[in-house]
Amino acid sequence: MEGLKKKLSKSLAANPDVAILKSDVWQLPLKIYEVSYGRLKRLKMDILMKMLLFAFQETDIRRAAALADMLAVEELFISDLIHKMKSSGLIALGKKGYVLTSKGFDYLEKGIFEEELDDGQAMISFSESHGDYQLVEADGQMEDAALTLFRYAAEGEPDADLIYELLSREMDAAEEDFQLIVSGIKDMTEKEEIHIPCIEFQLYDRKQDLFFSRVWHTGSKLWDETLEKAIEEKELPGWREAMEKAEALQ
């Protein structure tokens, strides 16, 4: 960490107008959640399923055997398809026979069918200071227990809607014949809180008479404008006041 700090200091000091007033190293808390989410497989409705739905729409049918005879298809195959449509909420058994639900009418009109798959699992990081959600691996994060936490670290609870948006962007996939879709968030469990070291510099540009901060985020390996802004909003007046007092004492 000390080597990285020296390298960054050298880079900032390359501008002769910029003076480094102070530097520090601290950690930013980052919560890791295990998220369970529903998945759907969306595909074009096949001819046989359309025929069955049309048959239920036009005729009173209670038994798979009647449809098997009508369509010259194996009864077992028809039974399996009826079970799938009933489980998916496309049809329901009424007094006179199977009828289409509103979902069944909608899917028949659109010519699609959605099959529910096993739930998916993902590890999501949540930084309240950034309002940011990312897919992450649960291990391999660098942290140092000796470092203090960021003095303006925000606290909050994750937003399921934003996590759903992230998973939809990252997990939805389209193939030639079907789509894989995230249908919703089932469960969220906080697994751990990790801490990402950050290197802070308080700076003064003599030429522009301007105070500013730079914060290097070791997780993203970039300067972090969000954390810089959080520091500047609260501390810039104090930096100028401290410098003016120091100059007055000289």
Give the Cα separation of 155 and 64 in Å (integer). Answer: 57
> pLDDT at position 143, please?
60
**Tokens (6 digits) for 135:** 């897919």
For 138, phi then psi, to 5°, come to -75, -20
Place of tokens 């100059």: 247
> pLDDT at position 141, please?
55
Q: What is the mean pLDDT of each run of 10 residues along the chain (250 residues)?
A: 92 93 94 95 86 83 78 83 86 86 89 89 93 77 76 90 94 84 94 93 94 95 96 91 73
For 224, phi then psi, to 5°, come to -105, 100
Sequence ranges of the chain with CATH classification 1.10.10.10: 46-110
> pLDDT at position 45, please?
85
Rounded to an integer, what is the distance from CA 176 to the centroid of its chain? 25
What CATH code would you report for 46-110? 1.10.10.10
